[in-house]
Structure 1
Amino acid sequence: MSKIFHDLPHGLYEWVEQSGGGSITRLERHLARREAWVVDITAPGGHVTEGFLRLDRNPIKGSAASLYKEAMICQALEDTDIPAPRLYAWSDDHCAALLARDAGRSDIDKLEDTARQRAIMQDFIKIIARLHRLNTDTLGLDKVLGAKPQTAAELALGDLDLQLRNFKRFLDNYTDPLMTYAVQWLRQHVPLEVPQMALVQGDTGPVNFMFQQNKVSVVVDWEWGHWGDPMEDLGNICVREFWNPCGGLDGLFKLYEQESGLPYQRFSAQYYRIQQNVRGMVGIHAVCAKPPQQEPLAWYLCYRYVTDRATCEGIADAMGIRIARPEMPTTTARADLLVSTAADSLRRDVLPRVDNAFAHSRAQDAARLIECLDRRSRFSATLNDTEREEIGELLGHRFAGVTQAQQALVTAIEARTLDDEKLLQYLARKAYRDEWLYAPVVELYPDRQWSALD
């Protein structure tokens, strides 16, 4: 059989066949933000290994999130009662992992049966409670995850600080008042009461597990795993339930408390849902500023602007500060003829005729990006004037341009000379306006709201 068409790095196709003990008979690009492939490997005797191939073409050495770390955690959990994917093989040369593919589904947010959603989430919470009870000294992960944190601040900020160091070159030349304030807020409000240190998944919750019937069959995506405060995973669950609503969180963290024997701490959950947002914000902003060729920019823009808004709302909730959505600008400027024609052509003439799911998704993303370009051309000047004026009012100084105003605001935030309430209210208005401006990509995840915490 001729080799299946692919654009895998040189030699990876052959490594997969060798690792799986047969020939590749199915290879399809998986619809995911990070590159992955569905692969079947058929042995000479006819046995089919159903695999899931993950690879990182541009690994960052020492990154807070890494595919190598994910692979080693899956391997370490194989002899526990935590259902993690089986690791078939790891390649240092290709930074690739061949994992077992589960037959279940991950789209719990798409279920119409709310009772079934609740049963699955309860089963998942019990798994997370068991994860946090594992003896960290017997997992053999010290060389992979590094030295165990010794203080509450190290537990809360370790991965964030690592992320900031990894993106230092980008951040040194990047101005973003919200990121500056959010990082500062996290440093000032570290939860000091930590029930115990545990292996935490670091990005856990809906869609990062598979289910069959009413049970979780496997928990996936361990690349952010590390030693941490168990409450961090509860904050992670808040974030993933925000993106993938599946019936809310009512009662789930009390169930966790019963199953784990660890106390549920509400402020810690609030803190860590902000921490995960900010930790992710660093990489997302970097990708949006200079997107790699293989990355779906429309999705990253959606994550960026929805996450910015959600971060403001999360901090406001934790601090008891009221924020409000501002009125959005209006303009009489017409849509650019070339831009609107290109978007219409993609939606009318191209998308209905694209059968490949991956290509269809990318063509749809292109149409959304074109529509965002049109909105930026019509509204950016008005929005920039608004930002310049509002920052001027906040700082008591008039600025000639929005870039100068934003730089001055970052300086004031770093100096801690501003009132938290007024600053956060401005940052929230800015985030609401940005989310509105990029509405075509935000529609990928429309109307996302935080679920109430117990």
Structure 2
Amino acid sequence: MAEEFTHDLPDGMTDWIAEAGGGRITRLERHIARREAWVVDVTRPDDSVGEYFLRLDREGDGSGTHSVKHEAKVQTALAEAGLKVPAICAWNEGLQAALHERVPGRADLDNAEPAEQAAVLEDFVHQLAHLHSLDPAALSLDHMPVPTTSAECALGEIDFVEKFLDGMVTDPLYTFALQWIRNQVPEHLDRVCLLQGDTGPANFLFEDGRVSAIVDWEWAHFGDPMEDLGNICTREFFAPSTPDEGLGPVFRRYGELSGIPVDLDSVRYYRVQQFVRSIVSLARITEINDPQMPNAMNRAYRYICERATCEAMADAMGIELERPELPEVETTATLEGVIATNLMDEVRPAVADDFARHRLEHAALLAECLDRQRGLGPHLEHIENEEIAALTGRVPSSLADGLMELDGAIREGDAGPDAEVLRYLARRAWRLEYLWKPVVDLFPGRTFSRID
């Protein structure tokens, strides 16, 4: 009965799902997320229902890490080791698709009551300590390299994501941040273990005060356990789940349960590393402008993460940043504004499908951003050119020219003291966040929680 559903899945996918589930497809819905996934129900002849979550790679053969095939291998190994992960119910090599067990639970820990947040985080820390206790040699994950030095742990994922830039993006923040990552590798490495690589709130499900499943393992790799603690900082930044006390108690509890000393300097380093990985990946994605991508959400993440990268580096360096004054937006009637209003006021009420309505709302936000850039863009470009001139000694002919020149100066070590360069990059990041405010407001007011 798959033909009853509207979808753009590859040929043969629905037949395989029905066969793997032992029945007929009775639910097929696109999941609202940054990475493509589908919610699927298969009703069997005895009226029992198999509830699945479909992940697929539309391109590639799954031969490397960070793929759906890689994720399925990791989850299979971890399920055998007793970790709370969704089971892989079926794998299709030709379609590069995995049917995951659909585990009950919710992911929005930031919306839970404080008592439940504390209980869930306690259970999550137990799971994380268990993960980090596993012997890499016993996990049958031979396709994954095992680093042996602190530098290999710190830079392996950076080497991978830096390839995403591939000459498409030249930006002084990215150059500065990548240099910082390579120059500040932690000296201490307690052990090498399997990491989720993107762990923390919103990447696990919870129910009744307990973790029901840890999800999203495509970034899993072997490395320094402090990296996962840095990852928790970045995920909790977007899904604040420790209202008053911050992450310090979570990290102390992790140390008690795991027996691994918590090195807060390393945690600060890996907090930066995680944001750098994010902005580098997002830079390429947002330059492509693929209509299949969640473009508004990706833009929101990119500009918030750029500002957070600056703040995280400043914290690690002991530098105070200066938030710039932000100009008012000129309000005039524009075609972009008409598009946004028509979509939201007239089209949205007629759209019933959740995924389609989500796409429509985000398209309207992008139109609002274009409207905002018409009014703010020239003024902000003038500010940027003046501030770049203060660092390079030359007023650029255009913002693109100025950013290119500053990028080159950073590469050559001629842009001035790191503290002054970072302060400028942070001011620019705040202005970009302000320029893209309609999409940035999908995640308003994001700040770091204390880690000590």
Task: Using structure 1 for the length normalisation, give the TM-score.
Answer: 0.96
In structure 1, what is the equivalent of residue 169 of structure 2?
174
Q: Does 1:318 align with 2:316?
A: yes
Give SS of 1:315's match: helix
Amino acid at match of 2:135: N
Question: Which of 203, 218, 221 pairs up with 1:223?
Answer: 218
Contact 2:303/2:433 (CA < 8 Å) preserved in 1?
Answer: yes
The one-letter code matched in structure 2 to 1:363 is: L
Q: Contact 2:2–2:14 (CA<8 Å) still a contact in 1?
A: no
Aligned mates of 1:184, 1:336 — CA distance in 2: 44
State the secondary structure of the residue aligned to 1:7.
coil
CA distance in 1, matches of 2:40, 2:351: 22
Give the 5 Å matches for 1:343-422.
343-417=340-414, 418-422=416-420
Specify the SS of the correspondent of 2:129.
helix
Amino acid in structure 2 at the alignment position of 1:420: D
Matches within 5 A, 1:20-35: 20-35=21-36
Q: Which one of 183, 189, 194 corresponds to residue 189 of structure 2?
A: 194
Q: How far 1:64 sits from its partner (Å)?
A: 5.1
Determine the structure 2 residue equivalent to 1:426: 424
RMSD (Å), alpha carbons:
1.4
Alpha-carbon distance in 1 for matches of 2:11, 2:96: 13
**Quick one: structure 1 residues 304 and 86, their matched pair in 2 at CA, closer, same or farther if it must change by over 3 Å?**
same
- Identity fraction in percent: 45
54-63 or 22-31, which moves further after superposition?
A: 54-63
Deviation at 1:330, TM superposition (A): 3.5
Q: How many residues align?
A: 447
Distance 1:60 1:17, change over 3 A: closer
Alignment correspondent of 2:116: 116
Q: CA contact under 8 A between 1:55 and 1:97: conserved in structure 2? A: yes
1:302-345 per-position Cα deviation (integer Å, ceiling 9, x unaligned): 000000000000000000001011011236x4434322121111
| 2:441 counterpart of 1:440 | no
Say whether residues 1:239 and 2:237 are aligned partners. no
Work out whether residues 200 and 235 of structure 2, in 8 Å CA contact, stay in contact via their aligned partners in 1. yes
Give 1:62 deviation, angstroms: 6.3
Indicate the residue corresponding to 2:200 in structure 1.
205
Superposed CA deviations along residues 343-368 of structure 1, whole A, max 9, x for unmatched, are 11112112233221111111110110
What letter corresponds to residue 355 of structure 2 in structure 1? F
1:272 to 261, 270, 273: 270
Matches of 2:64 and 2:326, distance apart in 1:
39
53-62 or 128-137: which moved more? 53-62
Q: Alpha-carbon deviation of 1:81?
A: 2.2
User: Once the 2 structures are TM-superposed, how far is the Cα of residue 61 of structure 1 from its aligned partner?
Assistant: 6.4
CA contact (8 A) 2:247 2:450 kept: yes
Q: Which residue of 1 aligns with 2:287?
A: 289
CA distance in 2, matches of 1:388, 1:54: 45
| Residue 90 (1) aligns with residue 91 (2) | yes
SS in 2 for 1:172: coil
SS in 2 for 1:251: helix
Using the alignment, how far apart are the partners of 1:334 and 1:148 within structure 2?
55
Q: Unaligned 5+ residue runs, structure 2?
A: none
- What displacement does 1:175 show? 1.1
Give the Cα separation in 2 of the matches to 1:61 and 1:318.
Answer: 37
CA gap of 1:79–1:61, structure 2 versus 1, over 3 A, is closer
Q: Secondary structure at the match of 1:50?
A: strand
Question: The residue matched to 2:119 in structure 1 has which SS?
Answer: helix
What does residue 148 of structure 1 align with?
A: 146
Cα distance in 1 for residues equivalent to 2:22 and 2:231: 37
1:335 and 1:244 mapped to 2: Cα distance? 35
Match of 1:327 in 2: 325
Question: What is the letter of the counterpart of residue 400 of structure 2?
Answer: T
1:101 corresponds to: 102
**1:339 paired to 2:336:** yes
What is the CA-CA distance between 1:63 and the residue it aligns to?
5.7
1:322 and 1:102, CA in 2 relative to 1: closer, same or farther beyond 3 A?
same
